[in-house]
Amino acid sequence: MASKTRNLQLKDFRLIQAVHDTGQLGLAAEQLALSQPAASRMLANIERAVGGPVFLRHPKGMTPTPVGDILIRNGHNLLNGLDQTLREISSVSKGLAGTARVGSVTDGSVAFVVPAIQELKKTAIGADIHVDVAPSDVLVEGLFRGEHDFVLSRIPPAYDKRQLDVRRGRHEDICFMMRAGHPLSRTATASLPSLAAYEWVIQAPHTPLRQAVEAVFVSSGTDLPRDIVNTTSMLVMVAYLASSDALAPIPRQVADLFVSNNPAAGLATVEPEEKILVSPYFLISRKNVIISAVAARLRELVFAAMNQPAA
């Protein structure tokens, strides 16, 4: 009998389930859009395959035999599993599920990636999103290794731009963050010499932010501060600011996260009298590399956000 039962198909299990649910072959046939003779032939073939009756016929309907109970129970699990599989496939193909892996510089992650994920999650509840925040050289290397579906970063000179799909860039606008009781927190803007008079917590030398800040100070003839703490850790930076009179040059979008959106953090900002802009970062993907539907949806949401006029 085992070899015969291998001939059972999904449509057979659907008929068995429909007969069990309705109690009548005619109603089951109607539910499955079959004629009653076709449903009767299908049931007869099933019973030949399993070697005995699946349902007992009564004047008021049909009830399963012990063999029918087994087929109903296991068929229910099989059909539910199949339906779940098809739902998951549909979700993935529509970008409602699946995995997206994003890399971004700090400003881009706060300004564009986080809002895009929140928008995506309104419909793609099952999406598995991974976000890495790192310097541009690390991000682009990860992109080429297949660790990211796309990145928001600058393009290090060592990479062949012909292999990349590069979209609209954004500059990082720099302000200075400090503890709320800092002497400079009482003013809206500060001169470069007054900013340089304090200790700084800043990204390491040769990073784009550090280079942009130093370039403005050097071009104005203002000496840089003697006391500098180098760190890429936002947690270290905030902890240091909270317990000292140090300043931190930081992208405005990131500063707003700590100051405007979180007054309880005890931090404040001041604007430099001379505008400081970091070289632009871009939305970058590898050409001819297919990414998941959910990653493609997220990339388009990020791109749409980056195309909004700057505030």
For the stretch 94-149, pLDDT in tens is 666 678 999 999 889 988 999 999 999 988 877 889 999 988 989 999 998 889 99
| pLDDT attached to residue 2 | 46
| pLDDT attached to residue 183 | 95
pLDDT at 202 exceeding the cut of 70: yes
Unique residue bearing structure tokens 């399963």: 64
Reduce the secondary structure of the chain to three states and give it as a string: CHHHHCCCCHHHHHHHHHHHHHCCHHHHHHHCCCCHHHHHHHHHHHHHHHCCCCEEEECCEEEECHHHHHHHHHHHHHHHHHHHHHHHHHHHHCCCEEEEEEEECHHHHHHHHHHHHHHHCCCCCEEEEEEEECCHHHHHHHHHCCCCCEEEECCCCCCCHHHEEEEEEEEEEEEEEEECCCHHHHCCEECHHHHHCCCEEECCCCCHHHHHHHHHHHHCCCCCCCCEEECCCHHHHHHHHHCCCCEEEEEHHHHHHHCCCCHHHCEEEEEECCCCEEEEEEEEEECCCCCCHHHHHHHHHHHHHHCCCCC
| pLDDT attached to residue 19 | 93
Task: Of 68-82, 179-193, 246-260, 286-300, give the lowest mean pLDDT range.
Answer: 68-82
pLDDT at 241 exceeding the cut of 70: yes
On whether the CB atoms of residues 137 and 255 are closer than 8 A, the answer is no
Which fold is adopted by the domain 100-280? D-Maltodextrin-Binding Protein; domain 2 (3.40.190)
State which CATH number among 1.10.3470.10, 3.10.450.50, 1.10.10.10, 1.10.260.40 fits the domain covering 2-92.
1.10.10.10
| pLDDT attached to residue 168 | 82
pLDDT tens figures, 242-261 = 999 999 999 988 898 888 77
| pLDDT attached to residue 1 | 46
| pLDDT attached to residue 3 | 47
pLDDT at 232 exceeding the cut of 70: yes
pLDDT tens figures, 34-69 = 999 999 999 999 999 998 999 999 988 999 999 999
Task: Of 11-15, 154-158, 215-219, give the lowest mean pLDDT range.
Answer: 154-158
pLDDT at 87 exceeding the cut of 70: no
**Banded model confidence at residue 88, pLDDT cuts 50, 70, 90:** low
pTM of the model: 0.66
**Banded model confidence at residue 166, pLDDT cuts 50, 70, 90:** very high
**Banded model confidence at residue 277, pLDDT cuts 50, 70, 90:** very high
∠ CA(125), CA(143), CA(295), 5° rounding? Answer: 20
Contacts of 80 by beta carbon, 8 Å cutoff, 6+ apart: none
Task: Check residues 175 and 86 and name the one with the higher pLDDT.
Answer: 175
Phi first, then psi: give them for residue 18, nearest 5 degrees.
-65, -40
The pLDDT mean for the chain works out to 88
pLDDT at 269 exceeding the cut of 80: yes
Domains of the chain by residue range: 2-92, 100-280
